[in-house]
């Protein structure tokens, strides 16, 4: 496969996943605000988790709901804004017209055209929850088109690598939203408010029902972290995503025997090994935030290794 085609497929997967997860981050922050209206943090955690705080400071001095959502979702000067991610996914799709299904092109292009009509008024009417609920439904439909119309070939593996790498990194950001939203006092841990916030986080990851099927109705912080980081069966868990990524890289490496030995990403292999033996209790005791930052750094290294092995054109 040409590196140019592989590059487009990889970034198509990343941008679609990034747009969806950023919509999920807005959703979880909104639910946490509903659960804790007295907080002074407001929408700032959204900017802290995505690393957008400095760039937002140059955009606006007002961190109210409308300003942050405008920047996070619509702002042209923010390259990671949801609308910009959709536009970049569409550009990659356009370059792949002969390599993807017409259904996928139609779905992505329609979402792109609709996104060009979005205005900040949509956050007032029909409201934040309704806007992002509808957006998540659109991404569900896109995932179904990808799963049911693309052949399981080398191209699909490159798209899968991009999608799962983004998903693994973003689930750590989802967990970090809770960490930055409310750094609880010791006496706050385990209270009804604290547990309600963790339930909101699970719901925003579409994980609440799956969590309850595994752990029952009682929500424990340790169990939530275990489920979203280390579960081998839940599709949005970091371990599940990285195991899919490693398997896809293995198939790619097998199809390109001339690739260097490190082509399958030693960092990805080490990450999967670490997550397969990891436990939430140890992570929480040693520092959840630091562990999540470490996972994000390792995901960035995986991306660099994949680029050097397969996507670099010079």
pLDDT 10s per residue in the chain (314 long)?
Answer: 689 999 999 999 999 999 999 988 888 778 777 766 555 567 877 887 788 888 888 888 888 888 889 999 999 989 889 999 999 999 999 999 999 999 999 999 999 999 999 988 877 777 888 898 899 999 999 999 999 999 999 999 999 999 999 999 999 988 887 766 655 555 666 677 778 778 888 888 889 999 999 999 989 889 999 999 999 999 999 999 999 999 999 999 888 766 554 456 899 999 999 999 999 999 999 989 899 999 999 999 999 999 998 988 76
What's residue 209's pLDDT? 95
What's residue 184's pLDDT? 53
127: left (phi over 0), alpha (psi -120 to 50) or beta: left
pTM here is 0.91
């Amino acid at each position: 496969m040409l590196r140019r085609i592989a590059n487009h497929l990889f970034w198509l997967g990343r941008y679609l996943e990034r747009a969806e997860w950023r919509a999920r981050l807005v959703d979880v922050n909104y639910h946490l605000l509903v659960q804790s209206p007295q907080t002074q943090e407001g929408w700032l955690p959204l900017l802290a988790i995505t690393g957008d705080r400095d760039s937002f400071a140059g955009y606006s001095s007002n961190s109210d709901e409308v300003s942050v959502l405008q920047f996070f979702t619509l702002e042209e000067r923010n390259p990671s804004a949801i609308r910009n991610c959709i536009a970049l996914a569409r550009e990659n799709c356009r370059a792949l017209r002969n390599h993807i299904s017409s259904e996928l092109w139609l779905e992505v292009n329609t979402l792109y055209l609709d996104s060009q009509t979005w205005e900040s008024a949509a956050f007032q009417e029909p409201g934040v929850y309704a806007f992002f609920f509808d957006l998540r439904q659109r991404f569900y439909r896109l995932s179904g088109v990808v799963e049911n119309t693309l052949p399981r070939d080398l191209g699909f593996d490159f798209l899968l690598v991009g999608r799962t790498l983004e998903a693994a990194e973003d689930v750590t950001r989802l967990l970090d939203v809770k960490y930055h939203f409310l750094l609880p006092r010791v006496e706050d841990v385990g209270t009804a408010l604290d547990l309600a916030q963790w339930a909101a986080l699970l719901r925003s990851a579409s994980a609440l029902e799956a969590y309850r099927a595994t752990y029952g109705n009682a929500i424990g912080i340790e169990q939530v972290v275990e489920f979203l980081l280390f579960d081998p069966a839940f599709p949005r868990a970091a371990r599940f995503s990285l195991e899919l990524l490693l398997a896809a890289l293995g198939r790619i490496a097998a199809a390109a025997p001339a690739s260097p030995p490190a082509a399958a990403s030693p960092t990805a292999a080490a990450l999967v090994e670490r997550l397969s033996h990891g436990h939430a209790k140890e992570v929480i005791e040693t520092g959840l935030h630091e562990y999540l930052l470490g996972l994000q750094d390792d995901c960035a290294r995986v991306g660099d290794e994949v680029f050097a092995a397969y996507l670099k054109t010079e």
